[in-house]
Amino acid sequence: MKEIFERRSVRNYLDKEVPKDMVETIIMAGMAAPSSDNEQPWHFIVVNDKERLHRIADFNPFAKMLKRCNVAIVVCGDLTLAKSEGFWIQDCSAATQNMLLEAVHLGLGAVWVGVYPMAEVVEEVKKVFNLPEEIIPLSIVPLGFPVRTKESAHRYQPSRIRYNSW
């Protein structure tokens, strides 16, 4: 529960490289996510090329922090692996959330940057990485050592809970 409550959207990072083993551990956490029929329809692109990070920040209005990080992970769904139609979105979302939680565990800051379902942004990301037609970018997770830490957020709202019926 500690990482769940400490997970916050971090958009400012120190100019310090994230070690490769940390990035790999975060991807391992993503790959440990549940998926429909255990299809695991995901692929991950590690991006440490500043030019590509800046290009994405230029066309995705929610990705400006990519200009301030040294590495990010693009989470993609593979439609050829997703036999349960449409569930790749949930599967890749679960992978993204696992990665965000592992980043907290490792002392890193991260944020979920949406790509899908914004059609124009999806197409631009596909161009940046030369993605095949069947590969759809869902999210981008910038990683870095946070400039500052944020306090835990408690968002529990009993008024949003129903039992057995509305």
The pLDDT assigned to 150 comes to: 81
Distance CA 155, CA 127 (A): 38
What percent of the chain clears pLDDT 70, i.e. is strictly above it? 100
pLDDT for 12 beyond 90: yes
pLDDT tens profile 18-69: 999 999 999 999 999 999 999 999 999 999 999 999 999 999 999 999 999 9
Query: How confident is the model at residue 8, as a pLDDT?
Result: 94
pLDDT at position 75, please? Answer: 98
Which CATH superfamily, name and number, covers 2-146? Answer: NADH Oxidase (3.40.109.10)
Per-domain boundaries in the chain: 2-146
State how far the Cα of 30 lies from the Cα of 96, in Å rounded to an integer: 6
Phi and psi, residue 86, nearest 5°? 85, -15
- Higher-confidence position of 154 and 113: 113
